[in-house]
Amino acid sequence: MLRLQICVILVSFVTAFDLKFDYQIREGNARFVENIETNLGKNIVKIHTPAHNDVLESYLMQDFQKGKQIRCLPSLRQCRLRDIDRKTSSDAGKVTESYVHSWNKGTNSISSTNATVIKEMYYVDGEEVVNTVELGEDLRTFYESFEYPLYIEKNIPSDAKVLNIASSSGRRFKRQFQSLNNGCDGQDPKRVFGVDSGRSCNYLKICEEVAVVNGNRVFTDCDNVHITSPLAYVCVCCPWVTVINPKGSECTCTKMS
């Protein structure tokens, strides 16, 4: 059910308050509601995406003043911290403004068939965050409410070798690599990145270009955006491996236990 907690005509004047609104999403055969919350004064965006298709339920908080974001995944009982990618992320002002524009147009729904897909590639190497003071009060309170371990995500290099992990979603981390059970037949093992089953994602309407029409400021270019993030981990594998078998002896990843 669509809900707008504060009247849209007051958006410019309520920078100290949280605005809550929804998008109706259609992805393949799945239909669901994505909940969004923004705080213009703190420049914070929160997004809850329910589980659907192969997507895991996720709670995302982005603090644009700190330049950090945390995504918590209840099914994996873990949270993930990384820097906000400002090339693919929109701050609280733009997210709110774009929603108000869609509200006024009567288009609060998004379909995956007409959304621009942005694929973010990050991995977790098992490094757990111990000192959370630098996160600030808002991110720290958000993360602590889940009572999950918090791991650091890092960007996968564009030239890295990325392999699929065969059916292993939900495994917990090891703090370090285990040695390979076979010696790779005397060949040197390679560092690769393993992509697990399941992913996280969120949808947004983002309006970029602004023009003045009849003295009014209007958007001329709005797009539906689908940001998707596979679950990826750093691994060491024998050089001939093309698919990572979590029960095999030719690869070891920080996540498997």
Looking at residue 1, its pLDDT comes to 42
State how far the Cα of 11 lies from the Cα of 16, in Å rounded to an integer: 10
Does the pLDDT of residue 101 top 50, yes or no? yes
Confidence of residue 10 (pLDDT cuts 50, 70, 90): very low
- CA 72 – CA 141 distance, rounded (Å): 13
Residue whose structure tokens are 């909940």: 35
Query: In the prediction, which pLDDT does 2 show?
Result: 42
Lowest mean pLDDT among 19-23, 91-95, 208-212: 208-212
Asked which of 13-22, 46-55, 114-123, 183-192 is least confident by mean pLDDT, the reply is 13-22
What pLDDT does 214 receive?
Answer: 56
Structure tokens at 167: 């059916």
Report d(CA 210, CA 194) in Å as an integer: 41
pLDDT over 60 at 4, yes or no: no
pTM for this prediction: 0.83
Q: Which of 192, 194, 199 is nearest to 173 (CA)?
A: 194
